[in-house]
Amino acid sequence: MRRGLTRKWLSSEPTCSRSMADSRSLEVAEPAPPGGATSADRHGLLEHSREFLDFFWDIAKPHQETRLEATEKLLAYLRARPEGSEMKYALKRLITGLGVGREAARPCYSMALAQLLQSFEDIPLCSILEQVQEKYELNNAKKAMIRPVLFANLFGVLALFQSGRLMKDQKALTKSVKLLQVLSHHYNHLQGQPLKALVDILSEVPEAMFEEILPKVLKADLNVVLSSPKHLELFLLAHQKVPAKLESWMGSVDLFTDENIPRLVNVLRLAATSVKKENKLPSVALDLLRLALKENKFLRFWKEVVEQGLLTKPSWPASFLCFRLLGAALPLLSKEQLQLVMQGDLARHFGEHMVTAKLSNQSKFVPEMSEYVGTFLEGCQDDPERQLFVLVAFSSITNQGLPVMPTFWRVTRYLSPQALQDYVAWLQGMFLQPNLDSLVDFSTANQKRAQDASFNSPERAIFRLRKWIIHRLVSLLDTLHLEKEEALIEQVARFCLFHSFFKTKKPTSQIPETKQQFSFPVDSRTREFFTNAFFSLLQTLSTKLRHVPDQAQGGHHWIYRLVQLADTLLNHSRNVAIVTPFTAQQRQAWDQMLETLKELEAHSSETKATAFQHLLLLVGIHLFKSPTESCDLLGDIQTCIKKSMGEKTRRSRSKAINSQEPPWVEVMVEILLSLLSQPSNLMRQVARSVFGHICSHLTPRALQLILNVLNPEANQDEDDVVVVTDDSDEKQLKDAEDEGSDSKDENSESEADSEGEESEEEERDEHVDPGFRQQLMEVLQAGKALGGMDSDEDETELSDEAMMALDESLSSLFAEQKLRIQARRDEKNKLQKEKALRRDFQIRVLDLIEVLVTRQPENPLILELLEPLLNIIRSSMRSTSSSSSKQEQDLLHKTARIFMHHLCRSRHYCHDVGHCAVTLHAQVERLVQQAGQQADSSVALYYFNASLYLLRILKGNATKKHTLESQQWQGASDSGGPEDPGPQTTNCLDLDLVTPVYSAALSSFLTKRNSPFTVPMFLSLFSRYPVICKSLLPGLLQRVSGSARARQQAQACLLLQKTLSARELRVCFEDSEWEQLIGQVLVKVTENLCTLGEAQSRSEHQKQLTSLELLNTLLKIIHHEELTVDLTALLGVLQGQQQSLQQSLQQGKRSAGSSRLYDLYWQAMKMLGVQRPKVEKKDTKEVPSASESSVSMKRKKKGFLPETKKRKKRKLEGIIPEEGATPEGATPLATGGDQPPSTGKKKRKRMKAKVLAQPQVDGTPAAKSPAPDTLALSPSTPAKTPELEKKSKKRLSQVNRDTPASPTEPSGKKQYQKALSKKGLSGKSPQSALSRKRARLSVVRSPSLFQSGAKKKKLLRKKLRTP
């Protein structure tokens, strides 16, 4: 058994100055021991086994998986080389790691050393222990290094113990025990860890060896035994393993005497404090409990040590020790002992902790106690009596009648069927005949100080107990299986139904519930809680039925069986009476409901009939709760069901014209809306299910009924009724869920504080009320007149009567003002609650919209949802910006999700829109205009997406569109031009009406300062409808340059760049049109680049950035499609702006943006055939300055990089000029006295540095550059093959046919054009792809440096094919 492998040590170890890296370097530098590996071998190990050395770094990493993987790899590596020097190095390295400065690394090395010793059993443990003691000597350790030395010895012993071999080596075991005893004296650093390790080791030692070691580790003195928890644990371990040896050595020892009990209490307190952070039970406490049970002294131990000792001065560590001891003792105790424990002071203390503990300060003990109880129940499945006793005992711990355990306690899943049946019977019996004497009841300190007689009344205790039992019975169904415990579920459901709505008149054997009599009458509040709990039970059963296809016996819903039971109870009027008697009309509605259910059973194969049946059952069962409302609903539902089920056979033309009464769909929608107004999840689910079956018959009037509820600007008169109903139901639910007076007190205090703060704010506001100020002045003036004083006289001359009259007037005035403030506050709170209830109701009504959009996406009525949903989103955005209420956020998120995911992104949509095409075009225009009027871009995005959705509907079928586009892609070359997909797919989309709308929006986006439109909106439009994009491109192109603002020009460049990169747009253009468009865009971009590097504002800088990005996109298109475009003017502009751009970069203006601008500039120049100039680097190693040399001499070498880690640049070594050759334009290397003698490697480095340090302008050497502003082709460009030269000349003749070179041009430009005549201006880079990498390293035009012609052609073709 392995213990303490990754133990968290209590002491916080400080970080030592000597790190692991230092230990590694010191270890490497140590000389080899005699007979071991030589120094050369060690350096060879470091040179050739970098993978081996990396294992030790990974072992010390914090991730456990990395450590384990490194340990396994290390062991596998050593198994392959058992006789090499790696084993000795690994042992020394792991031993060194035991004392490193990092706290987390020490256990890692200890674990690795243990695994190593376990795998290689030929390694003697004594030698390892000796090496640890030699490496970390306790006697010679300095004071500053004593802590790592102590922990190194401790972890060394633990490594031997974890290897599993320590028990087999008695000599190593004895040395380890002695070392642990020595370490135990250093309590300040190690605390009790050596004794912990000693106990763990001795617990696995054989008895014979234990008898020998015992006198060495434990003194025969009871005072020493009772001095600390570890000494007591050693004594208990010896008493358990070698009791005879212990008795012969120490004599008969009784720990549970009157003299020893206080000392035991102190030891347990110390043990509780020591494990306070570990949240576990000290083993010494459980060992004491076992010893007390063995010696038949459990009663004394529990009473005097636990209840009268640890609980007399309770502290949280001591209390948690007692709680954990209670949970651990459950499997060990008999039934009588369990009864003693569960009815004593510890049970009351546990209950008080459950009530008073706050989550913010101390964590409640329920999860931990649930684990103890669950383990106990799972371990005694064959003893249902013990299971029942423990569960009943915990349920009997009450605070003034209310059990402290939660109603949703999940430990019941471990109960056996018999124990579960008995527990339900106990709950029902306690509900019917409460026995308060059998409860372990208590009161908190605050409740005792209150001394309120009403709190201690038995009526209140019975009410609280019954309320808990009701919810406990309902929550039990969550853990029950519908198929296995069907009888138990039916028993609970019948019990809840009977006692919610019925009462017994005369017992009968036909109805078992009538035999259950109440010892204490049930009041109206308890009955109300029972009613709400019954509908919660229906909700639980409905939720569980989703996962079980066979819902109940006969395939019926559970609610159907309960309705049948209710009908049976109604028919037994002699024995059973309903709590709220039915009228004749209500009873008739009940009977008609049952008849309709029988008719629906004939159509049970239809899903619509099942949904209607569920709705009818649910409203019918609500007839017992609210008879008046449910009676009217039942009649309307039955009428609608009959019309909907017989609509196919009895529909006629005259019936459609006769509209005296509303259609059944509208009536059903009103019914569903009224059901959704109730805060019931079951009602919500049923309404969704029924609406899913009737939404195909929806009429515009029925849809308008739903939209009227969702309209944020409509009058709320109709919703006020809903608000009142929801408010009352919500209060009932809150009262039903309230299970403790303490929580009520805390809520009331917090509400009082908040109300007090609001009242103070309102009072401050009222001080500036002019009306109240005028009244106050009148009272004061009247008081002065009553006293007969002039205005100039002093206030002290008022008589006593005048002062009393003035005081009464002021008090009455402020009392009236306080009442007005309170009335305003109440009105404000009422309005806030009503608003929250309306939002909740709207969220539930959105379920119907979601069902309609999901199930009927092709219904034309879907088009009526766009603007109402957009209005909700817009108003919710405004509300959330002003107030961050949860209801507003939920409403916004749900509406946005329905609009975007279920509506706009749906795969299916309406196709029959020919009759309303004109209306849809007008709606598109209206939506785009409304998007432009929004103040927030996020709201405008929803309006813009709505217009795109309408365009999608007008365009037609998506499958035809994709087919057409694929045909266009395939047949673009055959047809010679693009085809318009709109008219061929459908004739509904009129581009002449739609294009001006989006053109105006684009113009607004590129002219207004704060436009709500964004670039992604138009990108989405262009990618989906490239035909519209083609029409908008001329207007967009005009905004790229000109008199527009710099920010709008940047937006236009960005939009144009993203648009031209899309392949959807390319198929709409013929080759000549596309080439003309690219040329026009290039002209506009060239105009923008005339001021490159001269930006004075952030917007101008952004304009230059986007212009260069657009230019790079254009050059890529020209290069990829081989377009014939004249780039001479562009190149001249870029060349002329190079100096200003470089100056702005050197000056540091907008450093981040300038560097980006510089990079984009040279990307464009590179595609035009100009290489970026190299940065000059000085050879500081060869010719250091005086200051640098003085500084470098002071620097110390902080380590080395092995040769295996160094990157070998073999390519550079191959590109070396021949001896005696000097590159053109470069100075010859100094020799003789100018340079010190050096090896060949240093010479190559100097040669490379000299070659790279040649000054260049625009990528050419200085010797070849005629002028700083002129451009010359790089001499490193390789020669072309004759075939490529012919092709390039042919392209050049096509491009520059009408543009001859000017005779006044400088030689540099002539040279550039001459080079261009060889490369061509077809968009490809004049420099080949093969030579770009080589050109950075070589300036020598040697034929041997380049590849063969065939390979070069192959690479060049591959590069040209890549866009």
**pLDDT tens profile 1081-1093:** 999 889 888 888 7
Q: What pLDDT digit, counting tens, does each position of 783-817 carry? A: 664 444 444 544 456 677 778 888 888 888 888 88
Backbone dihedral angles phi then psi of residue 1256, each to the nearest 5 degrees? -135, 150
Please say if the pLDDT value at position 107 is more than 70. Answer: yes
Q: What confidence score (pLDDT) does residue 266 get? A: 92
User: Would the pLDDT of 930 be above 90?
Assistant: yes
The predicted model gives 63-72 an average pLDDT of: 84
Q: Which residues contact 1031 (CB under 8 A, 6 or more apart)?
A: 991, 995, 999
**Cα–Cα distance between 233 and 227 in angstroms, integer?**
11
Query: Model confidence at 850, in pLDDT bands (50, 70, 90)?
Result: very high
Percent of the chain beyond pLDDT 70? 71
Token representation of residue 871 = 């209005």
Per mean pLDDT, which range of 941-945, 967-971, 1146-1150 is the poorest?
967-971
Per DSSP, the three-state class of 398 is strand
> Mean pLDDT of all residues in the chain?
74
How confident is the model over 79-106, as pLDDT tens digits? 887 777 788 888 888 888 888 877 778 7
Q: CB count, 10 Å around CB of 261?
A: 16
- Residue 1260's φ and ψ, nearest 5 degrees, are -120, 155
Burial, 933: exposed, middle or buried (Cβ in 10 Å; 0-12, 13-18, 19+)? exposed
Q: What is the CA radius of gyration of the chain?
A: 45
pLDDT at 656: 42
Helices (H) and strands (E) in the chain, counts: 64, 7
Residue 1180 neighbours by CB under 8 Å, 6+ apart: 1188
* Per-residue pLDDT tens digits for 1100-1139: 888 889 999 999 999 999 999 888 888 888 888 888 888 8
Residue 392 — pLDDT band, cuts 50, 70, 90? Answer: very high
Which pair of structure tokens corresponds to residue 1275?
């001499």
Measured in degrees and rounded to the nearest 5, phi and psi for residue 480 equal -95, 150
In DSSP terms, which residues pair with 504 in a beta bridge? Answer: 576
For residue 397, the SS3 value is strand
State what percent of residues in the chain have pLDDT above 90: 21
Instruction: Choose between 1200 and 16: higher pLDDT.
Output: 1200
The pLDDT value given to residue 791 = 47
Structure tokens at 1286: 């012919």
Residue 45: pLDDT band with limits 50, 70, 90: low
Encode pLDDT of 326-380 as tens digits: 999 999 999 999 999 999 899 999 999 888 876 544 567 888 899 999 999 999 9
| 820 CA to centre of own chain | 47
Among 1124, 1067, 1110, CA closest to 1297: 1124
Q: Quick check: helix, strand or coil at residue 409?
A: coil
**Among 1049, 1050, 1334, which residue's Cα sits nearest to residue 1212?**
1334
For 192, the token pair is 């009790």
Start-to-end C-alpha separation, the chain:
65
pLDDT in tens, 478-503: 777 766 678 888 899 999 999 989 98
Q: What distance in Å separates the CA atoms of residue 795 and residue 731, rounded to the nearest whole number?
A: 54
| Structure letter (DSSP) for residue 1173 | P
Please give the distance of CA 567 from its chain centroid, rounded to a whole number: 50
Q: Are 844 and 681 in contact (CB under 8 A)?
A: no
Select from 1038, 1033, 1020 the least CA-distant residue to 1083. 1038
- State the residue for tokens 């100018």: 1234
For residues 234 and 196, what is the distance between their CA atoms, to the nearest angstrom?
10
Spatial contact of 932 and 880, defined as CB atoms under 8 Å apart: no
> Tell me: the pLDDT tens digits for 234-243?
888 888 888 7
Q: What is the pLDDT of residues 655-706, one digit of tens each?
A: 444 446 788 888 999 999 998 988 888 888 888 888 988 888 889 999 999 9
- Pairing relationship of beta strands 440-442 and 397-399 according to DSSP bridges: parallel
**Bridge partners of 397?**
440
Is the pLDDT at 48 greater than 80, yes or no? no
